[in-house]
Structure 1
Amino acid sequence: MKPKVPALAIIGLLAGLLLTGCDDKPTEEKGFAGLADDAADYAQVTPGKPFVFPNDHGPHNDFRIEWWYVTANLTDSEGQSFGVQWTLFRNALPRPKGLQGDVSGWSNRNLWMGHAAVTSEDEHFAAERYARGGVQQAGVTLAPFAAWIDNWSYTSQSATDDPLADMQLQASGPQFNYQLHLKATQALVLQGNQGFSQKSEQGQASYYYSQPFFQADGSIDIDGKTYQVSGPAWLDREWSSQPLTDNQTGWDWFSLHLADGNEVMLYRMRQKTGEPYLTGTWINKDGSVEPLAATDIQLVPEETTDVEGRDMPTRWSVKIPSKALEVEVEALNPNAWMNLQIPYWEGPVSLSGTHKGVGYLEMTGY
């Protein structure tokens, strides 16, 4: 059995290793991915934040961790299914006293990490990038909007009131590359309580919004073969400083595109002791949202697959009785293992039952 390393756990470690030479020595992490560490040196997540766009599309350098996260469920002209993932993570070390703002050069306190992957029914390939902040290796700008790490990028294609409404996405690895155009059909949505997404009974939380109404088209290349593809895509944006407790071992996250035009987001935060913490959002096809409490959600693993020595739940029963939703969620490729420095499972899923649809599943900490 291989050691169980949770997704993102290595971010804090690498931040310490890469930035130790600047001034601080890395300290031992507590809890899942170090995200239960004391957050006194960072900004705090509190209810009632007024979201301001486009500013909140950019970095929040006073917070410890944030990400720009895109997934797409795609098909080609022959009906073959594929999945694409693109993620940019920003992680910050505490600032020394007297150091304000997002400084340039080697005094910058940010570490950037990129993940990209493509998945088909038979294959799954992933790649990663790491970069220091302040030296133009990676970052996010607002005018125009661009998120990048090396030559991977997620960039705005038109100047509109919503800079994320028309996007170009690209990344590559040794055995894959993709170029996708993403066009939003509705406004973005705030998750949780007006963007305040609670992650534990103790009150840990993140700021969280999504664009679940992207339509994507473009090309993907897998092992030298090119496919013209299209389908729904989803952007997640989260930032926090202490989103988890040291009792939480990882999460199972679902983004579901229902065939009737509605969307669903579900989080299942697993704990060392006690029942998992459940939260979610029902997103109506008109863009209005309905927060889901734990009592609204039934989320049960039904079948596991041995993946790299881990029992990964690759078929789930998902029920939301108030919405008459009762579906089986099954992985397109049960072996969609992100075999990177930070190993975790991430891949496309399909739905059957009372509702048809597709989506994405991320499982960390197994």
Structure 2
Amino acid sequence: MTASVPAAILSAALAAVPAAVLAQGYAGLGAEADGDFAVPQQGAALAFPGDHLPHPDYRIEWWYLTAALSAADGTRYGVQWTLFRSALRPGADTPGLPGDTRQIWMGHAAVTTPDAHLFDERLARGGVGQAGVTEPFEAWIDDWTMRSTAPADADPLDAIALTARGDRFAYDLALEATGPLVLHGDAGFSVKSPAGQASYYYSQPFYDVSGTLTLPEGDVEVTGSGWLDREWSSQPLSGDQEGWDWFSLSFESGAKLMGFGLRESDGGHFTSATWIAPDGTETAYGDGALRLTPGATAEVAGRTIPVEWRVELPDEGLDVTTTPLNPRAWMGTTFSYWEGPIAISGSHDGHGYLEMTGYE
């Protein structure tokens, strides 16, 4: 299916969303949740494998995978695969009912090289079999798939096959987890603002990755590491939060860090972090423990973007600088943002991924 057909579907659906809602925070994520939508509750236990599947009573949800890869000649690459679910009203779609559009699906895929950032987008509605997440675990939109290949007695996300194809790229990757799932915040309850907005949030940050990238110059065999984020909520931002800077960092020591800063209209910066030991033991850090300082900028898509950052977590002895593989890794999608692989140097060396939204 061509991109223009699902784009028309999504445009029609978005037309039903009031402009005032879309203006609340990046991509409307700060809009107050309608009373019919569920909101995350502190103390609610996450349960697997059920929570790998959709939560249609919540307004927004995503399955978000990034991978830092390299070829045999040392050339570095990055890969992104994302499926977003957004609900116009709560509740599950009715299978086979073409008029049921309460769920909107959006997929993003990208390959970043030192010289290029190749991306594509897929848009779909629920109820017609064009996109979804089902059990046994498979997430898909059109012919893009994230499918479990794990044994029946294992967690479905322990092993996955990942495919996507755009106009100038494709990839076919195999991922094997070497560590446990990691819950962020308070056992998966991740606070996003001083006012208490929150999401349910967990990750699988321990993937070994291998496979093939298909690029304009030909096929490239790659290996590396991957990180899957799962998150759902009905109002993950407050109305005055304009965007975020999110980091997933993997260090040569085997430790990892998830950290983000949410930028507020008054200049404030709400931060949160999870320090992940090599064995998967997590330590959560609340607002203020993580320090994010922007450095060098680049002009990207008519915007000034801080593509280098100083990241500090003093409680863990962390003081590093991140630099992008490609400063122009701009996702010119329906809701645009910067997303790309980064190198880490300083107190800890390693690699990771950076996502920045709300730079208009």
Q: Which of residues 24, 34, 38 in structure 1 aligns to 2:32?
A: 38
Aligned partner of 2:166 in structure 1 is 173
Mapped partners of 2:124, 2:200: distance in 1: 24
1:203 aligns with 2:185: no
Offset at 1:19?
Answer: 7.5
- Which letter does structure 2 place at the counterpart of 1:77? A
1:256 aligns with 2:239: no
Mapped partners of 2:211, 2:341: distance in 1: 18
Residues 90-124 of structure 1: per-residue CA shift (max 9 Å, x gap): 000125xxxx5432222241000000000011111
Query: Aligned with 2:295: secondary structure?
Result: strand
- Which letter does structure 1 place at the counterpart of 2:287? A
Query: Aligned with 2:213: secondary structure?
Result: strand
Question: Does the C-alpha gap of structure 1 residues 360 and 14 become closer, same or farther in structure 2, counting only changes over 3 Å?
Answer: farther
Question: Structure 1: 5+ residue runs without aligned partners?
Answer: 1-12
Q: Which of residues 65, 74, 78 in structure 1 aligns to 2:73?
A: 78
Offset at 1:294?
Answer: 2.8
Offset at 1:52?
Answer: 1.1
Aligned partner of 1:273 in structure 2 is 266
Q: Which of 217-226 and 175-184 deviates more?
A: 217-226
1:136 aligns with 2:145: no
Q: How does 1:159-238 map to 2 (within 5 A)?
A: 159-238=152-231
Q: Which of 26-35 and 73-82 deviates more?
A: 26-35
Aligned partner of 1:27 in structure 2 is 18
Of all paired residues, the percent bearing the same amino acid is 48
Question: Structure 2: 5+ residue runs without aligned partners?
Answer: 1-7
Mapped partners of 1:319, 1:153: distance in 2: 36
Query: Aligned with 2:123: secondary structure?
Result: strand
Q: Which of 337-346 and 111-120 deviates more?
A: 337-346
Q: Is the 8 A contact 1:175 1:224 kept in 2?
A: no
Q: Is the 8 A contact 1:195 1:208 kept in 2?
A: yes
Mapped partners of 2:267, 2:111: distance in 1: 35
Query: Aligned with 1:229: secondary structure?
Result: strand
Offset at 1:149?
Answer: 0.2
Mapped partners of 1:328, 1:296: distance in 2: 17
Aligned partner of 1:146 in structure 2 is 138
TM-score, scaled to structure 1: 0.91
Aligned partner of 1:47 in structure 2 is 42
1:89 aligns with 2:89: no
Mapped partners of 1:234, 1:26: distance in 2: 32
Query: Aligned with 2:94: secondary structure?
Result: coil
Q: Which of 319-328 and 31-40 deviates more?
A: 31-40
Computed over aligned residues only, the root mean square deviation of the Cα atoms, in angstroms, reads 1.5
Mapped partners of 1:323, 1:125: distance in 2: 36
- Which letter does structure 1 place at the counterpart of 2:251? L
Q: Is the 8 A contact 2:83 2:105 kept in 1?
A: yes
Count of residue pairs the alignment pairs up: 345
Offset at 1:15?
Answer: 5.3
Offset at 1:35?
Answer: 2.0
Mapped partners of 2:240, 2:36: distance in 1: 22
Mapped partners of 2:317, 2:145: distance in 1: 39
1:113 aligns with 2:111: no
